[in-house]
Chain A
Amino acid sequence: MASPRLFRPAARLLSSRLSATRPAFPQTACTPSILRFRGYATQNGTKEVTVRDALNEALAEELERNQKTFILGEEVAQYNGAYKVTRGLLDRFGPKRVIDTPITEAGFCGLAVGAALAGLHPICEFMTFNFAMQAIDQIINSAAKTHYMSGGIQPCNVTFRGPNGFAAGVAAQHSQDYSAWYGSIPGLKVVAPWSAEDAKGLLKAAIRDPNPVVVLENELLYGQAFPMSEAAQKDDFVLPIGKAKIERPGKDLTIVSLSRCVGQSLNAAAELKQKYGVEAEVINLRSVKPLDVETIIQSLKKTGRLMCVESGFPMFGVSSEILALSMEYGFDYLTAPAVRVTGAEVPTPYAVGLETMSFPQEDTIVGQAAKLLRL
């Protein structure tokens, strides 16, 4: 876990990096991910997989592997999930492992937490994380804290998953990003996948992790296809929680992002390269808590400039946290003030023109980066 490192002075963080046996940027991570995938495609069995199918595969594999797991939520069984993530699971695993619930988030989330406290490994699907607000007491006050409060006696191996962040045309009450909410709670782990590999590897890790883990998916990514390596297609593919991934290496600017904004940042980075010849490094956080401070700071040291891109509200968010960390651990390496590109300070409007203006777009990212780099 990276979080204990938060409490180390910056100097020690630096020295620990210097003495590390592993090079700061392993060769594989330095190759642009897209190129790497392309290389794979010709030589090995890389496959295009949608995020939806990757999540479905992860669920099926973990239900298969561990009899203690089961999934419950609204519409997950007969209807195959509101967003079809649980498609076919009822047929394959039966109604004892794939359970439809009444519209009672507090009820079924509480049931999942109770089952976890009793030793099972439930996976609790929220139709969207907006609905988890009805059950947030169970997640924060019970799931996150009982292990600590019981003196380590009661396990709580529960996974909460569902779409998070804004979707298209669902307005204020159905378009919010809860990364910062859950990310601020000691006792929870929080992951936010972007690609199909992220989705599969992180969801499997979340289910196997003995702690309560919140998996913040994104509705707009469900139908998006990503290349999936042969290794990731295997049923033992798990990603470590707490490790970020450098999706595109660069030397001029570090862009830290998560979830859907990673894709936008990569496109923005390509445009920056094409327009200005700037090499932006794009870091996919993958994990909100624990946060991979090390990867961010190492990158910042190399580029001297930091920009965070997320679709949450501007204040007290993931970006705010990363900017604070950059000051605590990388102040001397920054050649310009770090900036954040976030959602607007407004309840998400419905009208499409207003909605578009409420969240970072690729040209916003490019524009802000150009400003930061004084281009």
Chain B
Amino acid sequence: MAFINPMDTPGIPTYRVMDSDGVLVGQSRSELGFTNEDALSWYRNMLTGWFFSLYYDGLRPDADGLLTSRYGQVSAGEEGISVGSAAALTPDDVVFAQYRETGVFQQRGFTLKQFMSQLFANANDNGRGRNMPVHYGCAYPKTVRITPSPTSPMLELEWTLTEAQHTISSTLATQIPQASGAAYALKLQALQNPDKPPAIVACYFGEGAASEGDFHAGLNIAATRSCPVVFICRNNGYAISTPTLEQYRGDGIASRGVGYGIDTIRVDGNDIFAVYETMKAARGLALSGGGRPVLIEAMSYRVSHHSTSDDSFAYRARVEVEDWKRRDNPIIRLRKWLENEGLWNEDLERQAREGIRRDVLREFGEAERAKKPAIRFAFEDVYEEVTEEVREQMGELKRILEEYPEEYDLRGFEGGIKGLDEK
């Protein structure tokens, strides 16, 4: 009889392509599957994300720790994971994110205008001002025609797919089993329509969320149903204030994937090349053999505070943070590599920073000045269709607005009183 003592088993290694000096280790430049232009665009995206969070971080709560109305989670220090992994996805892949993946949205084409509009809850916000800050989301509804084939004798069906980024949810870890479900849907679609470009689901979460039951349920169902989903766990060492030692006792999150029978890898999250390579390979693996889940544990260190309402220096020594910042950071590391390659220098850096700063501030100002969503959005979308009662209320509001136009200033709302008309 022998018990397995986890302390006796060797730890899962961390995959790495580039060291903290920006020098490739074990691999040559030609082996890496990206162009110099790719690397430069990743760098810009990370830099933009960093600036963006700096401005966002500027909106701190007051001295009493009271929340300002703009509460949000910031992602500095984890850009390597989000940008690097998103770069390996195709536009057909579906993303379920938590709330620290600004880089994923950016890499997939979300614009500064879209970010800012969401943060300011203005008329251009996809969420119509209803969702908390950083709860980004967008939909590209696409209709896919499914025709019966000899192998799939189903009726002719028309599927409306909501692709791209699912809107961020505040509830912790609920996206994990949902990602498995979305992956299962992709798998069925691929069976019924082999012409559709192959797609996977990428699901992001932190190591704190992996303590929730949803993580275990989501991974197990994905494994048993062979769903083409890649789970990306950002292990940043802290869940709000709880250090990982209080969060779990095993070998990180990666060891759990093995337990569920899932292909698993641990990667250095500050090494964007390693993250990109890993994600690309994981995507291929997820699509192989009719679909299978993959777990990536990306190690990083969260440099920013948990959210703008939380001063993490209360529970982390300031030196610890500063030390890590100096020692390693995905942006610095990529910059070092670019400089080593002769692709970047101090001048370009200054120009880039100046440009990004200008763009961020411009969008900031524009978003602040933009109109509020049309009035009808105060009523719509609780249900797919406007209910009878609500329609009556809208009619009543319209009557009042028309009867007392001098009492209500509607100039700040998109479309003014016409904004009340149903589309």
Chain A positions near chain B (C-beta within 8 angstroms): 74-75, 78-79, 82, 84, 100-107, 130-131, 133-134, 167-174, 223, 345-347, 349-354, 357
Contact = CB atoms under 8 A, between A and B. Distances in A.
A223 B67 CA distance: 12
Contact of A75 (B132, B213, B240, B248): B240
Given A103-B247, A107-B211, A169 B130 contact: no
B132 A170 contact: yes
Given A346-B382, A351-B372, A171 B135 contact: yes
A28 B133 CA distance: 48
25 contacts: A75-B241, A78-B241, A78-B315, A82-B240, A84-B65, A102-B211, A103-B172, A104-B213, A134-B172, A168-B67, A169-B68, A170-B71, A170-B132, A171-B132, A171-B170, A172-B131, A173-B169, A345-B382, A349-B129, A349-B378, A351-B121, A351-B129, A351-B130, A352-B69, A354-B129
Contacts of B213: 104, 106-107, 134
B88 interface: no
A83 to B, nearest CB: 9
B66 interface: yes
A169 B135 CA distance: 13
Interface string B41-78: 00000000000000000000000111111110000000
A351 B373 CA distance: 10
Contact of B132 (A78, A103, A345, A350): A350
B247 A102 contact: yes
A79 B240 CA distance: 10
Q: Chain A interface mostly helix, strand, loop or mixed?
A: loop
Given A75-B241, A173-B169, A223 B64 contact: yes
Residue of A101, A345, A350 contacting most chain B CB atoms (<10 Å): A350
Contacts of B240: 74-75, 79, 82
Contacts of B212: 103-106, 134
Given A103-B208, A103-B247, A172 B130 contact: yes
Contacts of A223: 64, 66
Contact of A347 (B65, B121, B372, B382): B382
A346 B130 CA distance: 10
Nearest to B132: A171
Interface in B123-179: 127, 129-133, 135, 169-172
A105 B67 CA distance: 24
Contacts of A346: 382
Given A103-B208, A103-B211, 10 more contacts: A75-B242, A79-B240, A102-B208, A102-B211, A103-B212, A130-B171, A131-B172, A172-B131, A174-B132, A350-B127
B129 A169 contact: no
Nearest to B129: A351
A269 B259 CA distance: 62
B400 to A, nearest CB: 14
A104 B216 CA distance: 11
A350 B129 contact: yes
Residue of A78, A131, A171, A353 contacting most chain B CB atoms (<10 Å): A171
B314 interface: yes
Residue of A100, A169, A170 contacting most chain B CB atoms (<10 Å): A169
Contacts of B71: 169-170
Nearest to A170: B132
Contact of A353 (B214, B247, B372): B372
Q: Which 6 A-B pairs have the closest CB atoms?
A: A351-B129, A102-B211, A173-B170, A169-B69, A79-B241, A171-B132
Nearest to A167: B67
Nearest to B246: A100
A107 B129 CA distance: 34
B360 interface: no
Contacts of A172: 130-131, 170
A168 B131 contact: no
Given A100-B242, A106-B213, A357 B67 contact: no
A168 B62 CA distance: 14
A79 B246 CA distance: 13
Nearest to A353: B372
Contacts of A354: 129-130, 378
A103 B372 contact: no
A344 to B, nearest CB: 10
Contacts of A352: 69
B239 interface: yes
A350 B377 CA distance: 13
Contact of A171 (B70, B131, B172, B242): B131
Contact of A102 (B169, B241, B242, B382): B242
A345 B315 CA distance: 40
B95 interface: no
A133 B248 CA distance: 22
Interface in B299-336: 314-315
A103 B69 contact: no
B162 to A, nearest CB: 19
Interface string B369-390: 0001100001000100000000
Contacts of B209: 103
A130 to B, nearest CB: 8
Contacts of B242: 74-75, 100, 102-103
Contacts of B132: 169-171, 174, 350
A75 B238 CA distance: 12
Contacts of B248: 102
A130 B169 CA distance: 13
Interface in B360-374: 372-373
B131 to A, nearest CB: 6
Contacts of B67: 167-169
A79 B170 CA distance: 22
B126 to A, nearest CB: 13
A104 B211 contact: yes
B130 A173 contact: no
Contacts of A100: 242, 246
Nearest to B314: A79
B170 A350 contact: no
